[in-house]
Amino acid sequence: MRGLDIRERPSPNHGDRGEPPNLRPINTLVLHYTGMQSAEAALDRLCDPEAKVSSHYLVEEDGAVWRLVPEARRAFHAGVSCWLGESDLNWVSIGIEIVNPGHEWGYRKFPEPQMTAVEALCRDIVGRHRIPSYRVVGHSDIAPDRKADPGELFDWPRLARAGVGLWPEPDPGLRRRRGRGVGIVERARGLSDLARLGYEVVPGNEGPPLAAFQRRFRPERWDGRLDGETSGRLAEVAQLYDASTAALEAARRDRFRNYRRVN
Ligand SMILES: [Zn+2]
């Protein structure tokens, strides 16, 4: 990997990715925070055979990167999870643990050297595996009932500027709609956008996926309420999502056309 000094700390906690025809391609990148008091404690746990958890990489606050599990193997980082209708995302994903004490031990900003390393690592992974921007997710996106990581302090806009993940710049007028109620029709449209983006939306339990969306795309308040600002933000992200899927589809058609031309 160019520009990245990766240290090896092999974890025993991994399995195969399945055999053909059940082999599912790597198509998702999942970002986590460690949520432990120190990097060393997190590394110990991720390598402890009793704990049965792991990730492919861990990035320390000073930017040091550890490889725990080879990408060709299935690391145990996502647990019960769902995104875009696909469940058990360990089978199709690469997981990065980013050192941070998390909400339990004193959640804090992710320092610059750490973000520089995270950005370089993510760019490399999405480039090699052609992971589309709408399949770069936080753990809380794919398990909103259980997880809050990497959380509202994580710099998603920066990653998006580097070509990793979705981040539409918010319309400046949007903030005025915060806290304002929405009608039945707007609420239905917002929840449908939420599901289309990939979140698992269970009727009667819309709060957790809404809060996960807010942590990521409207990080000033994550109350799980579909207010006017959240509804507007959902529409902005859904628009970018549609543009990304359409661009991908057009590229696929081009490749197919070129293939037919040369064959
Ligand atoms: Zn996590």
**pLDDT tens by residue, 91-114:** 999 999 999 999 999 999 999 999
Q: Does the structure show a pLDDT above 90 at 254?
A: no
Q: Which of 10-14, 122-126, 172-176 has the lowest mean pLDDT?
A: 172-176
- Give the pair of three-digit tokens for residue 162: 């580097």
User: Ligand 1 mean position to 101 CA, how many Å?
Assistant: 12
Kindly indicate the confidence band of residue 171, based on its pLDDT and cuts at 50, 70 and 90: very high
User: Ligand 1 mean position to 78 CA, how many Å?
Assistant: 7
Q: What is the pLDDT of residue 211?
A: 98
Residue 134, burial from CB neighbour count under 10 angstroms (0-12, 13-18, 19+): buried
- The C-alpha atoms of residue 107 and residue 166 are separated, in whole angstroms, by 24
Q: Is 124 helix (H, G, I), strand (E, B) or coil?
A: helix
Provide, rounded to the nearest whole percent, the portion of the chain with pLDDT above 90: 86
User: Ligand 1 mean position to 148 CA, how many Å?
Assistant: 8
Q: What is the pLDDT of residue 76?
A: 98
How much is the average pLDDT of 152-166?
A: 98
User: Ligand 1 mean position to 241 CA, how many Å?
Assistant: 24
- The C-alpha atoms of residue 234 and residue 259 are separated, in whole angstroms, by 37
Mean pLDDT taken over the chain:
95
- The C-alpha atoms of residue 246 and residue 204 are separated, in whole angstroms, by 32
Q: Which amino acid is at 186?
A: E
User: Ligand 1 mean position to 68 CA, how many Å?
Assistant: 15
Q: Is 257 helix (H, G, I), strand (E, B) or coil?
A: helix
Going through the chain in order, the beta strands assigned E by DSSP cover 6-8, 14-15, 28-33, 57-59, 65-67, 74-75, 82-83, 86-87, 93-98, 136-138
Q: Is 218 helix (H, G, I), strand (E, B) or coil?
A: coil
List residues with catalytic annotation: 97
- The values of phi and psi at residue 184, to 5°, are -60, -45
- The C-alpha atoms of residue 55 and residue 50 are separated, in whole angstroms, by 15
How much is the average pLDDT of 215-222?
A: 96
Q: What is the pLDDT of residue 255?
A: 83
Residues 6+ apart with CB under 8 A from 46: 11, 13, 53, 54, 55, 58, 68, 97
More confident residue, 22 or 236: 236
Q: What is the pLDDT of residue 56?
A: 98
Q: Does the structure show a pLDDT above 80 at 198?
A: yes
User: Ligand 1 mean position to 34 CA, how many Å?
Assistant: 7
Q: What pTM did the predictor assign?
A: 0.95
CB 106 within 8 A of CB 37: no
Q: What is the pLDDT of residue 2?
A: 59
How much is the average pLDDT of 192-218?
A: 98
Q: Does the structure show a pLDDT above 80 at 259?
A: no
Q: What is the pLDDT of residue 263?
A: 63
Q: What is the pLDDT of residue 8?
A: 98
User: Ligand 1 mean position to 32 CA, how many Å?
Assistant: 4
70-86 pLDDT tens trace: 999 999 999 999 999 99
